[in-house]
Amino acid sequence: GAGVSQSPSNKVTEKGKDVELRCDPISGHTALYWYRQSLGQGLEFLIYFQGNSAPDKSGLPSDRFSAERTGGSVSTLTIQRTQQEDSAVYLCASSQAGTRADTQYFGPGTRLTVL
């Protein structure tokens, strides 16, 4: 079956521009997560959606970062006024119910380069 998909796979932008990254989770998965992977910081949690509950935004590094999940499915991560330190691979994951025993399935990531 289809896994988690992300688009675009690569994004190059200029400092100060806004970018939108998209994630399509596995159909039927109620939990969706965004992570960031960078050379200096490793893999970091950004934000987590679970069903209709308010998202856990505790990992967002600044108010330039926001995310939404429409209709309990597709999610968009938006970075406003991008900075060079935002350059990283942005990973999306989904899990069936978000319980402790669940497996998180990861997408291939979006590589963001801010010039």
> C-alpha dihedral over 10, 18, 36, 72, to 10 degrees?
-100
Q: How far is the CB of 106 from another protein (least distance, A)?
A: 4
Q: How far is the CB of 59 from another protein (least distance, A)?
A: 7
Q: What are phi and psi of 85, to 5 degrees?
A: -70, -10
Q: Which positions touch another protein (CB under 8 A)?
A: 31, 33, 35, 42-45, 48, 50, 56, 59, 91, 93, 95, 98-109
Which CB, 18 or 101, lies closer to another protein?
101
Q: How far is the CB of 86 from another protein (least distance, A)?
A: 19
Both tokens assigned to 33: 């997560």
Which CB, 3 or 16, lies closer to another protein?
3
At CA 106, angle to CA 48 and CA 71, rounded to 5? 50
Which CB, 80 or 104, lies closer to another protein?
104
Chain centroid to Cα 82, Å, comes to: 15
